[in-house]
């Protein structure tokens, strides 16, 4: 069974009085444990598609079913709870909270789950060790390099053990070496931990790491 099913989804944004169609009847299946690269020019709807899969935006028409759950049937509160359990999101600009240490940033999603403070700290530490930052627990984002910040962001995305990782240009703000490290990390998460990954990227080198690459142009997909 597919981990992500996007069925005939259309998305139209309204700016002022103008309607801007972004996705047009898009259909896509992503199997569990798959690693999909999503490419396309700016404005083609890649991020919109990622947002729809994450349940942080709603389609104008069509259905998005993730792990058997039809997201349209969840209200805002249930959707938030579902997201905290099933989705890990990695942003291009890391989006760490600047006043929290690396460990506190990673613990943030765990505040939404029932567990003791001790367990939260243990899991946060484990996630940071997994991304190779076990020695940077007390560092603030400003004390880390871009690559390290993105690794903290990945640790934050995986700490609650979600089944799906959505990465929106995770290497877009990094130098080649750091980008390679991040991509290796994502590959490892996919290979060893069976995480389903959907990665938006402009970089063909990054896209090569995916099992399959899909191109999105003018709201339509092609392999």
Partner 1 sequence: MNLFSLVLVNLGRNKRRTGLTALSVVIALFLFCSLRGVLDTLAASIRVGSEARLVVQNKISIIFPLPVVYRDRLAAIPGVKSVSYANWFGGRDSVDPNDFYAQFAVDAVTYFPMYARDALIIAADRPQAEIAVPAGVDPKLAAFLAEQSACVVGERLFKRKGWRLGQTINVDGTIFPGSWPFTIRAVYRAVDPAFGEEAVIFHWKYLNERGMGGRGPVGWYILELADPNGAAALSKRIDAMFENSAAATRTGTERAWQAGWVSMYGNVPFLIGVIGLAVVFAILLVAANTMMMATRERTAEFGVMKTLGFEDGMIFRVVLAEAAVITLGGGLAGALLAKWAIESSKFNAMGFLPSMTVSWATVATGIAIAVMMGAVSGLIPAWQASRLRIVDALRRVQ
Q: Name the minimum Å distance from CB 1 to partner 1.
A: 24
CA angle 48-159-166, nearest 5°?
15
* φ and ψ at residue 31, rounded to 5 degrees: -75, 160
Which one among 85, 139, 202, 211 touches partner 1, defined by CB under 8 A?
85
- Candidates 1-9, 64-72, 74-82, 143-151; binding stretch for partner 1 (CB under 8 A): 74-82
128 is a contact residue toward partner 1 (CB under 8 A): no
72 is a contact residue toward partner 1 (CB under 8 A): no
Gap between the Cα atoms of 96 and 123, Å rounded? 18
Of 100 and 180, the one with the shorter C-beta distance to partner 1 is 100
16 is a contact residue toward partner 1 (CB under 8 A): no
Measure Cα distances from 94 to 21, 33, 151, 205 in Å.
28, 24, 9, 20
C-beta atoms surrounding 223 within 10 Å: 6
Could you please report the per-residue DSSP string of 40-88? --TTSSHHHHHHHHHTSS--SEEEEEETTEEGGGS-HHHHHHHHHHHEE
Of 2 and 115, the one with the shorter C-beta distance to partner 1 is 115
Of 31 and 111, the one with the shorter C-beta distance to partner 1 is 111
Max CA pair span of the chain: 52
Closest by CA position to 221, among listed 35, 33, 4, 38:
38
- Candidates 29-37, 72-80, 128-136, 198-206; binding stretch for partner 1 (CB under 8 A): 72-80
Site for partner 1 in 98-117 (CB under 8 A): 98-100, 104, 107-109, 111-112, 117
Which positions from 33 to 62 touch partner 1 by CB under 8 A, shown as an x/- string?
--------------x---x--x-xx-----
Count the residues of the shown chain that bind partner 1, applying the rule CB under 8 A.
Answer: 32
6 is a contact residue toward partner 1 (CB under 8 A): no
Q: Name the minimum Å distance from CB 177 to partner 1.
A: 24
Measure Cα distances from 104 to 92, 101, 127 in Å.
20, 5, 12
Of 81 and 212, the one with the shorter C-beta distance to partner 1 is 81
140 is a contact residue toward partner 1 (CB under 8 A): no
On the 0-12 / 13-18 / 19+ scale of CB atoms within 10 A, 187 is: middle
Which one among 14, 17, 77, 177 touches partner 1, defined by CB under 8 A?
77
Gap between the Cα atoms of 153 and 157, Å rounded? 6
């Amino acid at each position: 069974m597919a981990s992500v099913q996007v069925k005939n989804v259309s998305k139209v944004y309204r700016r002022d009085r103008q309607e801007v169609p972004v996705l047009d009847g898009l259909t896509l299946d992503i199997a569990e444990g798959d690693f999909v690269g999503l490419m396309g020019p700016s404005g083609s709807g890649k991020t919109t598609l990622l947002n729809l899969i994450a349940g942080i935006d709603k389609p104008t028409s069509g259905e998005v079913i993730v792990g058997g759950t039809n997201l349209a049937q969840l209200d805002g509160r249930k959707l938030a709870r579902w997201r905290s359990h099933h989705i890990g999101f990695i942003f291009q600009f890391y989006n760490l909270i600047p006043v929290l240490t690396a460990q506190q940033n990673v613990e943030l999603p765990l505040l939404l789950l029932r567990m003791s403070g001790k367990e939260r700290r243990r899991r946060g530490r484990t996630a940071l060790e997994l991304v190779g930052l076990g020695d940077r627990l007390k560092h603030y984002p400003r004390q880390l390099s871009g690559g390290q910040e993105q690794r903290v962001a990945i640790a934050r995305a995986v700490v609650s053990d979600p089944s799906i990782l959505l990465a929106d240009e995770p290497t877009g703000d990094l130098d080649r070496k750091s980008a390679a490290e991040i991509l290796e990390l994502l590959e490892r998460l996919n290979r060893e931990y069976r995480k389903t990954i959907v990665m938006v990227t402009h970089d063909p080198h990054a896209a090569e790491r995916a099992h399959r690459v899909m191109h999105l142009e003018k709201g339509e997909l092609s392999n």
